Structure 1
Amino acid sequence: MTLALLDLQIAEEIDLQAESLPTEEQFLQWVTAAVAERSPYDEPELTIRLCAEAESQQLNSEYRGKDSPTNVLSFPFEAPPQVPIPLLGDLVICVQIVTREAHEQGKSANAHWAHMVIHGCLHLLGYDHINDDEAEEMEELEQRLLAQLGFPDPYQDEAP
């Protein structure tokens, strides 16, 4: 299995005492599950930045034209062909949004965190959900990866 190299950043605004965040080892396990056998690199690298709603909203507005915070943003890195850097890109995950969504959807926090990390990593690898066929392929892969990690289907309660 390809082992990923992870740079985990936690924004200063995140209250580590108040938040129940996954461990760095859990993040690495989820990243590795998503990128193993899918990355073009032997040791893919990526950054996960955990942020507050204000930062998520600013980035979502600037890069997606949506003036609201969101759960996860993916920023794929594309190196020039002559620069062999195994960097997949960056994920920016909003702690409050993920925590709130897990509660609202009746999911365990870790199950939702794992889903958001895997979802973001798949975006870094070029997967998308813009059209129905792409969405179905991406969701099936997310379901399979999460099941391998012992988590339930994240889409089980959604209407078709």
Structure 2
Amino acid sequence: MTIEVHDESGFAPPPDLSEISALATFVLDQMRVHPGAELNVLLGDETFIENLHIEWMDLEGPTDVLSFPMDELRPAPIGETPRPGTLGDIVVCPQVAARQALRAGHSTAEEILLLVTHGILHLLGFDHVEEAEKKEMFDLQRDLLLKFLASRGGPTQAPEPTVA
């Protein structure tokens, strides 16, 4: 898999880009995405993500995460070969993540990992508009993050979702 993670947020302390990349690899493997798939993750500041939020969603103010799908890749059903392609781009704002993490009672690093997982699921076609969709997506997001954190010797409890 080709996963590129860049930090242009100016957030201090800087997020652990290798941890974000490891998470993305883990999630894409768990979701049965083609090993040749491409994903870009950009950490941007509040002004940058607010401009994207206005341009693409017509909504004011900074947000926590935005996803921009490219080739509309979907998880391969068990027994089927996933198709290659570009998954897309995720933009996360660490400043917004830090505020959400404080309210939720976990670390900014965990919140960023939660948001990256959330963004990947959006790229894979998951959504949370309807209550049933929200439950499916948030349960999956929690399960993926918990398994990743446990595999790294981290917390045995995933942070609660803060995205609506």
TM range (shorter): 0.7 to 0.9
The CA distance in 2 between the partners of 1:20 and 1:47, in whole Å, is: 21
114-123 vs 41-50, greater mean Cα deviation: 41-50
The CA distance in 2 between the partners of 1:138 and 1:85, in whole Å, is: 23
Q: Deviations over 1:139-158 (max 9, x none)?
A: 1111111211234233389x
The answer to whether the 8 A contact 1:98-1:112 is kept is yes
The answer to whether the 8 A contact 2:39-2:89 is kept is yes
- Secondary structure of the 1:36 match is helix
Q: 1:39 to 1:45 in 2, by over 3 A?
A: farther
- Secondary structure of the 2:40 match is strand
Q: TM-score, normalised by structure 1?
A: 0.81
1:133 aligned residue: 132
Deviation at 1:101, TM superposition (A): 1.2
Deviation at 1:121, TM superposition (A): 0.6
The CA distance in 2 between the partners of 1:106 and 1:139, in whole Å, is: 18
- Secondary structure of the 2:6 match is strand
Q: Deviations over 1:113-160 (max 9, x none)?
A: 110110001111111111111111111111111211234233389xxx
What CA RMSD, in Å, does the superposition of the two structures yield over aligned residues?
2.1
Deviation at 1:10, TM superposition (A): 2.2
Structure 1 spans left out of the alignment, 5+ residues: none
The answer to whether structure 1 residue 19 and structure 2 residue 24 are counterparts is: no
Question: Which one-letter code corresponds to 1:48 in the other structure?
Answer: V
2:68 aligned residue: 75
Deviation at 1:85, TM superposition (A): 6.0
Structure 2 spans left out of the alignment, 5+ residues: 73-82
The answer to whether structure 1 residue 5 and structure 2 residue 2 are counterparts is: yes
Q: 1:127 to 1:99 in 2, by over 3 A?
A: same
Superposition map of 1:1-160 within 5 A: 4-11=1-8, 14-15=9-10, 19-78=12-71, 86-148=85-147, 149-150=149-150, 151=155, 152-155=157-160
The answer to whether the 8 A contact 2:64-2:115 is kept is yes
- Work out the number of aligned pairs and report it: 146
Deviation at 1:39, TM superposition (A): 4.6
The CA distance in 1 between the partners of 2:33 and 2:94, in whole Å, is: 29
Same amino acid, percent of matched pairs = 29
The answer to whether the 8 A contact 1:35-1:122 is kept is no
Q: TM-score, normalised by structure 2?
A: 0.80
The CA distance in 1 between the partners of 2:161 and 2:123, in whole Å, is: 24
The answer to whether the 8 A contact 2:67-2:90 is kept is yes
The CA distance in 2 between the partners of 1:45 and 1:39, in whole Å, is: 13
Question: Which one-letter code corresponds to 1:154 in the other structure?
Answer: P
